[in-house]
A and B are shown apart, each in its own frame.
Chain A
C-alpha cells in the first residue's frame, strides 16, 4: 500500500498550529516515513498535484481566498481535519465579528492612528486581485463539511501526533485528559 498523502494549509490563522505540528520533535522523521506531503507550507508545494487522503486546516475563513482554498481542500482531500481554535470557532480574527465590516476597513485604512495621515486619497482596497473580506469570520465547518476536529491554541503537538497516527494506522485513538485544551 502506498503512503497516505497529507496536505496542510493556514487560512485566517497565525501559523501557530503548524508550529505545533513541527513541535512533534524527532517524531517528524517517523511522520515522513508514514506519510507523503502534498500541498503544504511545510514542503512549499503551492498547488495540489494529486488527490490527497488527509487535509489539515488551520485558521477560519475571513476572506474569499480562504473560502476558495478551503473548498479546494474539500475537493482534493478524502478527510478534512480542522485544527486549532481559529478553524474551529474563528478564534482571534473572529473578535471582529461584532463590528460592522465598514468600521473595520475604515479603522484599518482611514482612521487608525498609524494610517490617518498616510492615505490622503482615502483608498480602500478594491482590486479584483485582492481577496474580498467576508462580513464576518467563519469557522471552517460552517463553509464545508469537516470530518474531525482538534481543538487547542495551538493544539498540543501530542494531540496532533496521536490523532494523525491513529487515523493513518486505523488504531483506536485514546486521548489523555491533558492534551485536549482550548488554549
Chain B
C-alpha cells in the first residue's frame, strides 16, 4: 500500500492517494470545491474554472492539479468565492438560461451553484446570443442556448457499443456541441437518461419527458449543492 499524501485545505489536515487531483481528494476529505466540468472518474479538463483554488499565492484549477506533500491550499476565502460567483454570473449572461421554462430547473448544477453563491442577478449585461436547437435525434434534444461547453458529454458518454455520440463543431465563439442523430436513435431510455444526467445544465434533454418532478422534490430545492459531501477518509 502506498503512503497517503498529507496536505491542508484552509488549514484543515487532509489526506490523499498519490496522483489524486485536489478536487477529488478534497471531496474525499469532506471539503466541497465547486465544479461544473469535472466528474469523478473522467479525465479532468479544467474548462469551467470554478474549482480554482489558491496554492502558494497562485490560482490553480483543483481538478487538473495533483496533490503534493505539504500543499497548503486556500479554498473558502473571499477572493476565490468572489471569483467563482463572477464565473457563474458570466455563464448566465453568455447563454440563454430561462430557468422558469427549463426541464432541468431544480436539478441543474449551474442553477444550484447560483443558489449556493446567492446570485440575485448577474452584474454583467445579458448577451442573448442566437443559438440553434437540434431536435433531429429521436431520443434527445440538444438545446445550445443552455450549453456551457463543459465537454462532460463528449468526455464521458458513449453508447452501448462504446461509440461517442457527442462532439464539438466549429471553433472559438461559434463552438457548439453536436449529436450523432443516427447513433443516438438506438439509445435505450436508461442511456438517454444517463446522457441527460451527465449534462450539468439543461442542454441535453430527453424527448417526450420533462417537468415530471414536482417543485419541492427536486435535487436542489431544499439543500444546496455540495451539502452531501462527507469525509470518507
CA distance A169 to B126 in the complex (A): 33
A89-B126, A178-B222, A182-B105 known; A149-B121 Cβ under 8 A: yes
CA distance A178 to B221 in the complex (A): 6
Q: Does A61 contact B (CB under 8 A)?
A: no
Contact of A98 among B99, B115, B130 (CB under 8 A): B130
- Are B223 and A182 closer than 8 Å at their CB atoms? no
Which of A49-57, A67-75, A105-113, A134-142 binds B? A134-142
Q: Which residue of A is nearest B100, CB measured?
A: A153
Q: Which residues of B contact A141 (CB under 8 A)?
A: 121
Q: Does A7 contact B (CB under 8 A)?
A: no
Q: Which residues of B contact A85 (CB under 8 A)?
A: 98-100
Q: Does A151 contact B (CB under 8 A)?
A: yes
A142-B126, A182-B105 known; A92-B120 Cβ under 8 A: no
Q: Which residue of A is nearest B108, CB measured?
A: A182
- Are A182 and B114 closer than 8 Å at their CB atoms? yes
- Are B126 and A91 closer than 8 Å at their CB atoms? no
Q: Does B111 contact A (CB under 8 A)?
A: yes
Contact of B125 among A91, A142, A148 (CB under 8 A): A142
Instruction: Compute the total of residue contacts between A and B using a CB distance below 8 Å.
Output: 68
Which residues of A (122-143) have their CB < 8 Å from a CB of B? 136, 139, 141-142
* Chain B contact residues, majority secondary structure: loop
A98-B131, A142-B126, A151-B121 known; A91-B221 Cβ under 8 A: no
Q: Which residues of B contact A82 (CB under 8 A)?
A: 121
- Are A182 and B126 closer than 8 Å at their CB atoms? no
Q: Does B101 contact A (CB under 8 A)?
A: yes
Q: Which residues of A contact B221 (CB under 8 A)?
A: 178, 181
Closest beta carbon of chain A to B111's beta carbon, Å: 6
Q: Which residue of B is nearest A95, CB measured?
A: B98
CA distance A29 to B130 in the complex (A): 46
- What 1/0 flags go to B86-115 for Cβ under 8 Å of A? 000000100011111110011000010011
A180-B115, A183-B215 known; A89-B224 Cβ under 8 A: no
- Are B222 and A98 closer than 8 Å at their CB atoms? no
Interchain residue pairs with CB less than 8 A apart (25): A85-B98, A85-B99, A88-B121, A89-B98, A89-B121, A89-B122, A91-B98, A92-B98, A92-B100, A92-B101, A94-B98, A97-B128, A98-B96, A98-B129, A98-B130, A139-B121, A142-B126, A151-B120, A153-B99, A177-B222, A177-B223, A182-B111, A183-B102, A183-B105, A183-B215
